[in-house]
Structure 1
Amino acid sequence: MVTFDRLRPDTPRRRHLWLVVGLTLLVVALSVPVGLSVLNGTWGSRSDVPAPASGIITESQRDGSVGAPVLPDAAGGYAPEEQGSAPQAGGAVTSVGTKLARTAWLGIKVGDIAGASSRVRAIAEAAGGQVISESIVTAPDPTGSVENRKGPEGVSEEGFLPPVGVNEARLTLRVPADALDKVLTDLSSASLGTLSYRSSQSEDVTETYVDTRARIQPAKDSIARVRALMVKATSLDQIVLLESELARRQADLDSLEQRLAELELRTSTSTVSVTLWTDETAPPEPDDNAFLTSLQKAWDAFLASIMVVVTGLAVLLPWLLLALVVAWFVRRWLRRRNAGAPASSD
């Protein structure tokens, strides 16, 4: 016969189990934001500054601010290099007009896919633009090729655009920004086909453009000053440190110039995506590998989440070990105190 006492759970052991489970979940929950911060580069963004090498230090080593290398002067002090990360106060600022990055989309029902595509190409060329990508499907592909599922510059359209179906065409145009309105008007005319939809958007990138352009010349001046310091360097340690600083500043300048070039292209030209179809347009055939692709994406997401948790645990590991040591000493102290306490009389 089973008694009531045997059915009662072991309360202290169960409490310990729940305590361990709760602490484990708390540690994992803390590791997620920490891991994301580390992987995104926002954890500890202020890096430690290396020790000065053979009489050459940086401004950051003296006052904690990021600065440029400096060489000792004749009086034994340090002559800092003037910074070039921002325009000098009171300097001339060249004003620019509003910089807009414009993009448009059109959908047109036509009678002849090939003829309409040629007409779209002619409109783009007449406006001084060009066709940067073109996908035209007039019949099923017996080879099963997926070339018609590629977007601009070979980028797969999976995830942001559906594949091109039979008797359908998709063209991406790049036209001068000041000719965009005329191109849209010509493409929307009844001579090409029946307009189904037309949309456009504008992004104001003036602030980013002005900031990027204003930082390029100071970056060049800063590189020139570092090169001048390299001529004055008297030891190998100084040369190595200056070369490292020069490489970093050159990389920053290259990044600024690339960003400015991209902004120039986005604001001087506009992108127009044109989709053409007919009454005979058939939807694209389903992808047989869609299930496997979904599984692959899910597996990649799982691995990414594991990486986040592991990275966070690695950062928190020293603190966890310290917490375990403190908990062990506290528990030992409590046991000794309880063992030394006199028993209460009945």
Structure 2
Amino acid sequence: MRSTKQRRLAGLLLALAATGGLTACGSSASESGSAAAPADMRGENPAMAPEAATGYSTSGGADKAAPGEKREQAAQVGQPGVDRKLVRTATIVLVTPNVRDSAEQARQIVVGTGGYTGQAEVGDRSATMTLYVPSDKLDETLRKLSAPELGKEESRSQSAQDVTEQIVDVESRIQTQRASLERVRALLGRAQQISEVVQLESEVTRREADLESLLKRRERLAGSVAMSTVTLRLSRDSAPPPPADDDTLLGALAGGWKAFVDTTSFVVRAIAQVLPFAVVLGVPAYLVWRHRRRSARPAQPAPQPVAQES
């Protein structure tokens, strides 16, 4: 009887190991795609990383994708009809006479396009705002933000990150993980021994957590693609241009005269700052010194009368 139970438990463990091995083979991430992911999609949660999200093989197998599945994903992404998924960002620097009014106008422009304002630091002389705009309205929003009504555009930069392969890979992982979870649940339904039930329930819980992390990663990717990030910097004054170097004789004389004037001005200011202390402290010190000098001077003997000879 005991040997029959052991054989049954061994059979379930082998089936579970085979299921985990098949799942691990079909859920590998594209290393190049993960390395190129934007900063807000990597490193936030170790459970979101591709290695942590798919390490559910109970047989200790490595997280390696089958070559056939890699080729299938590459062909799917490389098809001409595939809609490329881009994470777009932009930065605009404006000079405006009224920073607060321009910041409020920029906020209204973004809200009007269906976006919203993230972190913002607004002052009288400068402001930095993080704006989130629907990706399909990014170009239109940038044109409105650089309009003369808001200020003079000093610089603008844009970038786009292609995350199509990452999205296709995550979708494939989710499908594989769901199929694996269903197979483990089927094994749990056929389990009869308590030890089998405990082990299979632990495996179901772990795979459900892996599936949840994959779903959250898909949501982050989709959100980054749907909303573009615009960093708007406002300043009241532009940076002054650097002075041009003058190597002529007149330029050298002008530089020397400027240095002389600056030195003289510094010395005069230093004397003016020290003079009140010299008057307040110097006069009493001089009076004390003079009094001590008089007190230390030896007294002269009185002259003796000269005796007259008779």
TM-score (norm 1): 0.48
Q: Distance in 2 between matches of 1:122 and 1:62?
A: 57
Contact 2:96 2:152 in 1 (8 A): yes
Size of the aligned set, in residue pairs, is 184
Aligned residue identity for 1:116? S
Residue in structure 1 matching 2:21, options 66, 81, 84 = 66
Question: Greater helix share, 1 or 2?
Answer: 2
CA shift, 1:195, in A, is 0.6
CA shift, 1:230, in A, is 1.1
Contact 1:98 1:204 in 2 (8 A): yes
Q: Distance in 1 between matches of 2:7 and 2:130?
A: 54
Q: Which residue does 1:329 correspond to in 2? A: none
Aligned residue identity for 1:57? L
- Say if 2:195 is the partner of 1:237: yes
SS of the aligned residue for 2:118 comes to strand
* Distance 1:240-1:169 versus aligned 2 partners, 3 A rule: same
Q: Distance in 2 between matches of 1:52 and 1:172?
A: 62
CA shift, 1:59, in A, is 5.6
Residue in structure 1 matching 2:143, options 172, 180, 185 = 185
Unaligned runs of 5+ in 1: 1-50, 69-84, 139-166, 282-346
Q: Deviations over 1:233-260 (max 9, x none)?
A: 1111111211121122112211111111
* Distance 1:258-1:96 versus aligned 2 partners, 3 A rule: farther
SS of the aligned residue for 2:84 comes to coil
Q: Deviations over 1:6-26 (max 9, x none)?
A: xxxxxxxxxxxxxxxxxxxxx
Q: Distance in 2 between matches of 1:190 and 1:223?
A: 58
TM-score (norm 2): 0.53
Contact 2:128 2:231 in 1 (8 A): yes
Contact 2:100 2:123 in 1 (8 A): no
CA shift, 1:130, in A, is 0.6
Q: Distance in 1 between matches of 2:191 and 2:182?
A: 15
Q: Which residue does 1:205 correspond to in 2? A: 163
Contact 2:127 2:234 in 1 (8 A): yes
Aligned residue identity for 1:102? R
Q: Distance in 2 between matches of 1:268 and 1:226?
A: 35
CA shift, 1:265, in A, is 0.5
Q: Which residue does 2:208 correspond to in 1? A: 250
Q: Which residue does 1:136 correspond to in 2? A: 122
Q: Deviations over 1:85-107 (max 9, x none)?
A: 99x989xx797410000000111
Task: Look at both structures and tell me which one has the larger radius of gyration over its CA atoms.
Answer: 2
| Identity within the alignment, % | 33
Q: Which residue does 1:219 correspond to in 2? A: 177
Residue in structure 2 matching 1:168, options 122, 126, 134 = 126
Q: Which residue does 2:232 correspond to in 1? A: 274
- Say if 2:101 is the partner of 1:115: yes
Aligned residue identity for 1:271? T
Q: Distance in 2 between matches of 1:224 and 1:67?
A: 13
Matches within 5 A, 1:45-64: 54-55=9-10, 56-58=12-14
- Say if 2:81 is the partner of 1:126: no
CA shift, 1:136, in A, is 0.9
Contact 1:127 1:179 in 2 (8 A): yes
* Distance 1:267-1:250 versus aligned 2 partners, 3 A rule: same
SS of the aligned residue for 1:191 comes to coil
SS of the aligned residue for 2:192 comes to coil
Q: Distance in 1 between matches of 2:107 and 2:167?
A: 31
Contact 1:60 1:67 in 2 (8 A): no
Structure 1 runs of 4+ off > 4 angstroms?
59-63, 93-96
Q: Distance in 2 between matches of 1:240 and 1:67?
A: 22
